[in-house]
């Protein structure tokens, strides 16, 4: 019986790999500061994670698995309190299905370049773009629609996370 339980649990951990899903981990240790809605009640449709430290070393891409990251740098300085809408630095991966996974707001470093990798560093925690403080914004969207199902049941606002923490699964 004990062997059956272990075998069943091992099979469950492999399910995302078999189904073609990708696990999303926290880009750095921090706290989930927003998910589907902001504190104001307006729609957000993404996961925000903050360590509370601007220029915190080593913001990694969230998706586990070797994927191509298209890194776009719009601001090259150290920004801790926002630079305005549309000026966020971005790492994104476009899936064959047309969905795009984005990670925003990091500060450019020598690690901010296009490449295929598994959890590579893309910069430091920052606040480029429309933001009120340093954090990582993790979002999946397609044709202007944000998908919130990838993180529902995996993480909640106020939760402390580290780099090994699963914050969602992309199908």
Q: Quick one: pLDDT band at residue 9, thresholds 50, 70, 90?
A: very low
DSSP assigned state of 159: -
Degrees (nearest 5) of the Cα angle 85, 22, 88?
10
C-alpha span between 133 and 112 (Å, rounded): 20
C-alpha span between 74 and 86 (Å, rounded): 9
Residue with tokens 């995996």: 154
Instruction: Please return the burial class of 135, using the count of CB atoms within 10 Å of its CB with bins 0-12, 13-18 and 19+.
Output: buried
> What dihedral do alpha carbons 60, 50, 86, 91 form, nearest 10°?
10
Residue with tokens 């969230």: 62
Residue with tokens 């998706």: 63
Report the pLDDT value the prediction gives residue 11, as an integer from 0 to 100. 40
DSSP assigned state of 55: T
Q: Give residue-wise pLDDT tens across range 59-70.
A: 999 999 999 999
C-alpha span between 135 and 126 (Å, rounded): 6
Q: Give residue-wise pLDDT tens across range 99-134.
A: 999 999 999 999 999 999 999 999 999 999 999 999
Q: Give residue-wise pLDDT tens across range 13-29.
A: 444 344 479 999 999 99
Domains delineated in the chain: 19-170 (2.70.70.10)
This prediction has a pTM of 0.87
Pairing state of beta strands 100-104 and 47-50? unpaired
- Sign of the dihedral through C-alpha 93, 161, 48, 156: positive
C-alpha span between 78 and 49 (Å, rounded): 18
Q: Quick one: pLDDT band at residue 171, thresholds 50, 70, 90?
A: confident
Strand, helix or coil at 76?
coil
């Amino acid at each position: 019986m004990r062997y059956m339980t272990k075998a069943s649990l091992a099979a469950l951990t492999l399910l995302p790999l078999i189904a073609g899903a990708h696990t999303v981990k926290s880009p750095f240790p921090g706290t989930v500061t927003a998910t589907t809605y902001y504190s104001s009640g307006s729609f957000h449709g993404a996961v925000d994670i903050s360590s509370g430290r601007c220029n915190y070393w080593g913001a990694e891409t969230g998706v586990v698995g070797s994927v191509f990251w298209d890194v776009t740098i719009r601001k090259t300085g150290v920004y801790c309190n926002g630079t305005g809408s549309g000026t966020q630095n971005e790492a994104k991966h476009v899936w064959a299905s047309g969905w795009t996974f984005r990670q925003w707001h990091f500060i450019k470093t020598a690690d901010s370049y296009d490449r295929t990798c598994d959890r590579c560093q893309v910069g430091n925690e920052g606040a480029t773009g429309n933001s009120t403080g340093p954090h990582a914004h993790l979002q999946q969207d397609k044709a202007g629609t944000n998908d919130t199902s990838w993180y529902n049941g995996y993480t909640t606002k106020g939760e402390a996370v580290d780099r090994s923490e699963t914050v969602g699964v992309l199908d």
